[in-house]
A and B are shown apart, each in its own frame.
Chain A
């Protein structure tokens, strides 16, 4: 197995020397995400396998090429889960791609994001050096938090060869309640409920229908359901529904219209942008299908105190991600140069300038 890592490091060293860009890729399930894909493919899938998993320590460590489905199945066997419910976006999704993309699913607003669960990473930087940051313990403040910096870095800082994640027990039980209500009322309700001690683990609103998932002990769910009202969905349908939201296989996500991801302060009133919206995370995440100009979408998100990502689109001339303020852009370039001085790792995937 270490031969696989050695080979990857060797490829990176050679690429740095010849200044030929590399495109780090696991299962390719998130090729659509971000800007340009430049360079020769560096496939991580030979670097695979669970390294350690002890349920009573609440930590799993695995190689980056490990299929995400395999990892989640191993956790499920012990009654545990990745609490941030990462979207796979395809059967080939790997752990490394999951960490590098930094995306989280429906449980994010309640449980935390991927970056909140990253405890440590082992990576190969742009010079081909193996570096280890963080570890397998919950609390660790030795040195800067490079592991979390790697989360969502889209392969631009290094090749993640191994990651340790905090895991949590699966909830004892889940139920999903449905409510008919327009967006404004759904936003009000979700935010009000989120401020109350209720076991809400996910919310999603579209087409004037709000669904609220509750997770926890049976007694707590009964009490919360009685308080919230709504109609309970039957269990298999509810599970299918949340999977369709997480994996974007719901009808809302079908078709050719560009898909925007708006990350906003959760209390933001419904945005007056053309197109259909699907609202998750109590209002903090809004999916928008629209042909509206990128500048208009980004301006609306910025005005609300958030940002807009052109998530899926046939063309992304406007750039996938909201441009950074000048001082932040400078810091990004410097950090990129610190890890990848030759600029060969997934260049242009996040921003055109690096």
Chain B
């Protein structure tokens, strides 16, 4: 893993100095440095990569966050921010020479304005908790990553998290109005505003999805939407995944933007069905879940149109959720896909590439080839509406050889996603996990532009360093050159 991970050794004199400096203004329970206390922070949701942090800081107030940052900045200590630790790309992987800054204690909902349809919350508030507390006003927060009962809004901002409803309702970037926080040297900043725009550059868009590398978030203002009056799900079965892929295109081509449009292949439905009994058709090679929401009249109209399109597109069976419990049951399988797969394999590795939908058949066939090449199974769940794939490679981490094959399998699939005009990550982030594939997706000049942006916010490179954007040297060592349209870009530039 290189730069980020090589720093595993802890210098105990340095550790003592940093812990003492933080103890000058934080209570004893808010500064952890003994290994039994810091070990739980060694990884996030990507457990394949672990590093025990030198020190963990657990501030409770904005003033404390500011002092942690100022102190670390003065001592030139790297800082890795962390929310709920559910991230899937190692974005919160600690460093042995750094402070892990946990925002877990920022758990308050500060203000709800039902008339203006906004909520102001602290970064540690869980995604699902926002919708729970505003539910009494008939409102909800739209992005719903599958980890929504555990993941925090601060982490959602860092990763620009999506979910199963983003085709219609957007990602975090479309549903957050304002982010307050601090730059790495402790300067307070606010990006965006409670109005719908702010003067100057759109720094809010830049901050969202920046993987905790530009600023530390201490407050988030989210947009709330009225809860749809009604929602129903159509479940459709298909004899092969390619036909299912064409059916997705047919729905969109018919002028329908469903609230959710998800696909699962047979290995995935079988794993899920054994776990939650969602009522899926286990004979189908693939199933589609298509949710329509709105007023009861709209839903009835749209469901009828969707069924018609699906029948024409070759669905072998369709059924519509009859009531709310059944709708939730249809979704329960999709939302439980990762843990369900976790039950049938000691470990699984989740990919996150996004592709133009029309290339779905090609990419799924490629994944099939990779299963044979590497001798590993790979069920697929897929945010079909927006082209975001989550193939899950099943492996056993106890076998070094399986882990190596898994990484190569994943790398080939991500590079295939780029080759068909897609991206290596749709919603999970680059973190440490996909940093080498960034060399494939971006040209050196583009990576340099990312580094220049990073320097604008963090000239010393102390905030979550080594994540998300590879150095040009690293790309040269990785040895795979970015190629676009069959030509090396910028022949005038030196190659590493």
- Residues of A that sit less than 8 Å from B by CB: 54-59, 79, 102, 108-109, 112-113, 115-116, 125, 129-133, 135-146, 148-149, 151-153, 157, 168-170, 172, 191-192, 194-199, 216-217, 219-220, 222-224, 263-267, 281, 284-285, 305-307, 309, 321-325, 327-328, 331-332, 334-335, 337-339, 350-351
Contact = CB atoms under 8 A, between A and B. Distances in A.
A129 B442 CA distance: 14
Interface in B442-468: 442-443, 445-446, 449-450, 452-457, 468
Nearest to B139: A195
Interface stretch (B47-55, B69-77, B111-119, B330-338): B111-119
Contacts of B116: 191, 265-267
B199 A169 contact: no
A262 B120 CA distance: 22
Interface in B373-398: 383, 385-388
B422 A56 contact: no
Name the 7 nearest CB pairs between A and B, nearest first.
Answer: A334-B456, A219-B297, A148-B205, A338-B452, A139-B426, A169-B255, A267-B116
A224 B296 CA distance: 11
Contact of B159 (A141, A151, A307): A141
B118 to A, nearest CB: 8
Given A79-B255, A137-B354, A151-B202, 17 more contacts: A54-B356, A102-B202, A125-B449, A131-B443, A137-B387, A139-B354, A139-B386, A139-B423, A142-B441, A143-B438, A143-B441, A149-B205, A195-B224, A199-B295, A220-B298, A284-B196, A337-B456
B100 to A, nearest CB: 22
Contacts of B355: 137
B404 interface: no
18 contacts: A131-B443, A131-B449, A136-B356, A140-B354, A143-B469, A148-B206, A153-B201, A168-B257, A194-B117, A195-B224, A196-B138, A197-B227, A197-B294, A198-B226, A216-B294, A285-B196, A305-B194, A334-B457
Contact of B195 (A191, A198, A264): A264
B354 A57 contact: no
Contacts of A139: 162, 166, 171, 354, 383, 386-388, 423, 426-427
- The range of chain B's interface size is 35 or more
B384 to A, nearest CB: 11
Contacts of A142: 423-425, 430, 434, 438, 441-442
Contacts of B173: 116, 145, 148
A38 to B, nearest CB: 18
A351 B201 CA distance: 11
Interface in B93-115: 113-115
Contacts of A322: 199
A198 B225 CA distance: 11
B29 interface: no
Interface in B357-414: 357-358, 383, 385-388
B430 A143 contact: yes
For B139, B188, B205, B454, which residue has the most chain A Cβ atoms within 10 angstroms?
Answer: B205
B253 A56 contact: yes
Nearest to A109: B196
A307 B198 contact: yes
A223 B469 contact: no
A331 B196 contact: no
A129 B411 CA distance: 29
B271 to A, nearest CB: 24
Interface in B160-207: 160, 162, 166-167, 170-171, 173-174, 183, 187-190, 193-203, 205-206
Interface string B249-280: 11011011100000000000000000000000
B154 interface: no
For B228, B255, B425, which residue has the most chain A Cβ atoms within 10 angstroms?
Answer: B255
A145 B354 contact: no
B162 A145 contact: no
Nearest to B387: A137
A266 B354 CA distance: 35
B200 A324 contact: yes
Contact of B425 (A58, A102, A141): A141
A144 B430 CA distance: 10
B78 interface: no
Contacts of B199: 307, 309, 321-324
A324 B203 CA distance: 12
A152 B201 CA distance: 7
Contacts of A130: 445, 489-490
A331 B210 CA distance: 15
A140 B452 contact: no
Contact of B226 (A59, A115, A197, A285): A197
A56 B249 contact: yes
Nearest to B210: A144
B426 A305 contact: no
B161 to A, nearest CB: 9
Nearest to B294: A220
A195 B226 contact: yes
B195 A144 contact: no
Contacts of B454: 144
A79 to B, nearest CB: 6
A124 B171 CA distance: 28
A141 B386 contact: no
Contacts of B442: 142-143
B472 to A, nearest CB: 14
Nearest to A147: B205
Given A131-B446, A145-B205, A350 B194 contact: no
B196 A140 contact: no
A229 B388 CA distance: 42
A145 B421 contact: no
Given A108-B196, A148-B205, A267-B115, A327 B356 contact: no
A56 B117 CA distance: 32
A148 B456 CA distance: 17
